[in-house]
Amino acid sequence: MASYVVGTYRLPADLEEVVVALLWGEGCQGVEELGIEEGLSTLEAYFPEGQGTYLPPVPGVELLERRDLVEQDWLETYRRLAQPIEVGRHFVIDPREPDEPVLEPVPHRRTLRLPARQAFGTGSHESTRLILELMEEAPLKGARVLDVGSGSGILSFAALVLGARTVQGFDFDLPSAFLSGQYRSLNGLFPSFFAGRLDALSADAGFEILLVNILPERILPQAHQLPAMLREDGEILLSGILRTRGSEVLAAMAELGFRPIAERTAGDWIAYRCRR
């Protein structure tokens, strides 16, 4: 098993993207956000053994702790026990490894193969299931779609199955963008993926549908950029929202000129379909 050096950082939340980019540039192999409190974000960054940590030269950034970590396969049990699940009216999500036998086709459902290489994006989480259900009601046929924080690519693949003309997905997490690219051939579906930030796209991109399955603290600071990405009659589908924060998200969307036209709930989670 490989070993890592883990650095724990505290920094102003609005500088998080800048700091993460600098950490990646110094050889960081993974970043985890531990939460935001009183405007300060706490991150853990994973560096190769022997490299040591790095303190970005950005005002307000603190290195709180440095520790060694031996790598573990946290998802081994989940992968071993993972079974296909039906989601919405159109999909079967298969999180098993690619060398497992191909599933028998399920009538009127498309199987999406998303091996459980990461914890999020295999369809098992309520927030992913909720936005997939909303997508089944949205005007995706012939639409240009942007998948914000695409993760495994599950929403991008689903959008193509539901008739989208083109789909662009992106994620700030480099390994996610790499895995979603691999899953294109596995599914025979070919959205475009890149690793980067929202502002890498043209401000007048002209998408008809935005898919946003991201925790509010990650997307709300960038929410002001979303309207310009959409055509006038465009829609935003939002998930990854705890029900206790639903009113906060709707208030932010109202300030941008959007109102909810549909919602779905499951457990502690809620998702919205919003239109100008």
Check residue 167 and give left, alpha or beta (phi > 0: left; psi -120 to 50: alpha): beta
pLDDT of residue 1: 56
Q: What is the per-residue pLDDT across 224-260, written as a single tens digit (0 to 9) for each?
A: 889 989 999 999 999 999 999 999 999 999 999 999 9
Q: What was the pLDDT predicted at 119?
A: 44
What pLDDT score does 244 carry?
A: 93
**Domains of the chain with CATH codes:** 3-70 (3.30.70), 81-275 (3.40.50.150)
Q: Which residues of the chain have pLDDT under 70?
A: 1-2, 72-81, 117-123, 203
Q: Is 38 left (phi over 0), alpha (psi -120 to 50) or beta?
A: left
pLDDT for residue 173: 79
Q: Which pTM was predicted?
A: 0.72
- Nearest 10 degrees: Cα torsion 118, 213, 17, 259: 180
What backbone phi and psi angles, to 5 degrees, belong to 153? 95, 5
At 259, is the secondary structure helix, strand, or coil?
strand
pLDDT attached to residue 102 = 82
Each as own residue / partner, the long-range contacts of residues 59-63 (CB below 8 Å, 24 or more positions apart, any chain) are 60/11, 60/12, 60/15, 61/9, 61/10, 61/11, 61/15, 61/19, 62/9, 62/10, 62/11, 63/7, 63/8, 63/9
